[in-house]
Structure formats: structure tokens, C-alpha cells
Structure 1
Amino acid sequence: MKCNWHDVLAGSGVSKRFLVLSVFLWIQMGCSAPAFAQLAGKTESLFDGRTLTGWKTVDPSHEKLWFVKDSVIRSGDGLKKIPENTYLHTLKDYGNFEFRCLFRLSGDPATGMINSGIQYRSILEGGKIVGYQADIGNGYWGDIYDEHRRGKLAGGDLSVLKRILKEDGWNSYIIRCKGNRHELYINGVKTCDYTEQDSRIPQKGVIAVQIHSGGVAQVEFRDLTISEL
């Protein structure tokens, strides 16, 4: 299948070395035709590769828990346990979109839970972030979880993914939302195809990256792009 590399990499603000690595990873992971269909809107980068401009922590006291190093957004140092859930969210809301990124979650499961996720169509309410999460981590890969609201909505299909997933290496995530349909892809493999039946649930909100409390861990995100549909 043909992949639109320009859409994936344009304006990412990362170094040439990272661009080359990104292309290599996308080729290795394969591309799913539905996820790489022609997009209606212009693809824009959500991360300039140098700063966290355009992003904000849900809890202001968590600002120092998120940082940029080597053109990668990071949280956790891989040496200390993660004391509590922390989220870094976009300043802008998105409704119908296709979001893409590369991510890496690493840590020691013997020290506690190693988990992360990507919030989308989420709202800030009472000091919490409420909304859909594309899950990351052992036992949760590719799930859709409704954070601070209804809990797990759909389990990820690992029948194909388990053969190509790099559990502590770089993987890709695609989140595609249009109307009440949600599609998740990891490494080009569809893990969830969920239709929201509750009309009361907001269809627009922020995108956020998360690291879950628990063990000694680190999460990294790069090449974050979005195309509004």
C-alpha cells in the first residue's frame, strides 16, 4: 500500500536523523489502507521538536514532569517510580481528525504498572481530564478507555499486532475520529473500530499524552501530527 510520507513528516520540526528513523519505522511497521487514505484537511505538526509550545499540563504542578530532549517529548526518567498520573494536553480542541505519532514506553514491570496513553476528544473538568484514551502498555495495547468517566469501552485486537509490536521500542499510533466512529491503529494494524452510541458524549476536545502512575518508567513521543477531516 502507498503511504503519504509527506503528510506524516511535514513540519515535524525534528532533525534529519529522526526523519530518516521515522521513515524507516513506518516502512517496517507497514501501512493500513484505511488509515492512510487521502485526508481532507492539511496535515500540521503538533510539536516543534524543541519546546512544549502549544501544550499544557492538566495539573500546573506537573510542568517539570514533561520535557523535551533530542526532539522527543518525554516524561519519567526510567530511574524512579511514577508517583501519579500526569497529562500534557494541546491548547486546541479537535473533533474530526486523524492523529499520528511515534511513541516508546519503557520500564521495569517488576516495580509496578508500566502504562501510558493518548487522550482525545477530552475535556478538562474539575482539575481532571475526562475523555477517550488510546491505551499503551502490556494488557492494554490498542484499547479504548474512557478516562474518569465510563472505563474500558473496547479491547484491542492483538491477533496480528502481537507479531509486530515492539513492547519497549518505537511504535506508531494512529487515531482516526469522524462523527461517532473511532478507529485505532498501532503499527498500521487496526486494533479498535468503535462506534459511540451515547449522544451526550462530547465529539470535540483536546489531545493529551499521559504516563500512568506505578513503576519505574519513561514514555516518549515524537512526530506528532494531525489532519482535520
Structure 2
Amino acid sequence: MLQLLTVLLLPVIIYSTAYAQADTTLKNTLPAGGKMVNGKPVGKGWVDMLANVNDWNFENTFWQLSNHMLHGSIGKEKEHHYSYTKKVYTDFELNVMIKMVGDEDANSGVCIRINPTSWDDAPGYQIDMGKGYWGSLWEERRGNMVQKFPDALVPKIVKFNDWNHYYIVAKGHHIQAWLNGVKTIDMVHDAGFSSGNIGFQLCHLHNPTVVDVKSLYVREIK
């Protein structure tokens, strides 16, 4: 009987762990590394990732990079369309100012440690954006929802169809993220990739969606 109860309870325990939240108080706890002034992070060591189009992989049909602005747009395509860095990153801090415009089903994500095999297939993490996903940690084509931020709290911190700030720290298997100063992700996920590209997703099967990135800075952790 004890073995049977263990088997029955195990899925419940796993589900609860995946959806656990470190902090839902909505307090602004943004660390120093996430402080931005005039669209630029404070401190030394930050690299502007929007300075050179040659540092990126993307399809010109869906993405363009000019004048320090990465712009993506998609209709109701059957496949995803990713943009991502040519460089592979391991441990880092990331500051992103991003705007997603579309209807209530618009969906995108800030991708970290992805390992793309095609424009459509990019397994790895997404610091997610969209209905049911804002502020959550998603693992594309692998673990799916790793840590979900409560939907009821999303309208209190997200600026819909406007600019939002993500500050992300990836060190070892510990992933943390702040959305507009509020910590929404704090997870040690041993099953995830420890390195990969940084990028953005245009999600398939949704109505027209436009994604703009006007600030993107990385600081590697040695």
C-alpha cells in the first residue's frame, strides 16, 4: 500500500515543484545589475548586443536589425521563427527592453541557452511573454513549463503592448529573472542546457505579432 501511495503522490509533488514561486509579493527587488539609465545598464562590463547585425542569425523576412533596434513581425505562420546570436553564452546577466504588440494571444519570449537546429526549432529556455506565460520560465521542446508565474498577478506588473524590462541571471543551473523589477523566476533546473545562444521567438499559429527590442546588453559571469 505504501508503494502504491508513493506512486500516486509522485506526479503531484513534481507538478507542485515545477509551479512553485519564490516571491509573489510584487515588491521591486531589482539588483544593481538590472538598473538602467537612458536604456543602458549601470556598471562596467556590459556589451551592447544590438550594435552589429553580423553578430546575429535570422531570416530577413521576419527580422531586421538597424539603428540599435531589433524588429520582428509574424502572421499566422505554421512554424516559429527565431532570431539568435552567433555567439554561445554560458553564465551571464542580461538586460532587455522589449515590446510585443498584438492581440490577447500574442506570444514571444526572450530565449537563453537555446540550441537551434533550424529557424523553427530552438530547444532551450524562454523567459516567456504572452497570455498564460508572462514572467514564466519555459523550456522549449524539452521540459515545457519549468516555473510558472501566477496569471492573476501578471496585469499588475506587465505593460501590455508597451515596453517591458527583463533582467535575467543565468549561473550554472540557477536561473533568475525580474520583470519590471519584480522577481518572477528563481529556479535551479539541473536538466536544462548550461550554454547556448541568446535570442527571441516569434511564435507560430498566432495572429499578427510585432516584437521590438531597443536595449539588449549582456555581461558574462566568469
TM-score, structure 2 as length reference: 0.75
Specify the code of the residue in structure 2 equivalent to 1:55: W
Partner of 1:15: none
Q: Distance in 2 between matches of 1:180 and 1:2?
A: 20
Q: Secondary structure at the match of 2:134?
A: coil
Structure 1 residues 85 and 43, CA, compared in 2 at 3 Å: closer, same or farther? Answer: same
In structure 2, do the counterparts of structure 1 residues 4 and 145 end up closer, same or farther at CA, with 3 Å as the change threshold? closer
* Cα pair 1:87 1:209 within 8 Å, conserved: yes
1:85 counterpart (68, 80, 83): 80
- The residue number in structure 1 matching 2:46 is 43
The answer (yes or no) to whether the contact 1:76–1:82 under 8 Å persists in 2 is: no
Checking the alignment, whether the CA contact within 8 Å between 1:82 and 1:216 is kept in structure 2 is no
Tell me, yes or no, if the aligned pair for 2:100 and 2:108 is still in contact at 8 Å: yes
Contact persistence 1:82–1:217 (CA under 8 A): no
The offset of 1:103, in angstroms, is 0.5
Displacement of 1:104 in angstroms is 0.6
Deviation at 1:63, TM superposition (A): 2.8
Note closer, same or farther for the CA distance 1:142–1:206 as it changes in structure 2 (3 Å cut).
same
Q: Distance in 2 between matches of 1:189 and 1:90?
A: 27
Normalised by the length of structure 1, the TM-score is: 0.73
Pair 1:158–1:227, CA change in 2 (3 A): farther
Paired residues of 1:122 and 1:207 also in contact (CA < 8 A): yes
Matching of residue 97 in structure 1 with residue 92 in structure 2: yes
- Judge conservation of contact 2:34–2:167 (CA < 8 Å) in 1: no
Cα distance in 2, alignment partners of residues 114 and 186 from structure 1: 18
Please, which runs of 5 or more residues in structure 1 have no aligned partner?
A: 10-18, 27-35
- Determine what percentage of the aligned residue pairs are the same residue: 25
Q: Which has the larger radius of gyration?
A: 2
Cα deviation for residue 179 of structure 1 reads: 1.3
1:204 to 195, 204, 214: 195
Give ranges in structure 2 of 5+ residues lacking alignment: 1-28
| Aligned residue among 107, 116, 132 for 1:124 | 116
Superposition RMSD in Å? 2.9
Partner SS state of residue 116, structure 2: strand
Residue equivalent to 1:32: none
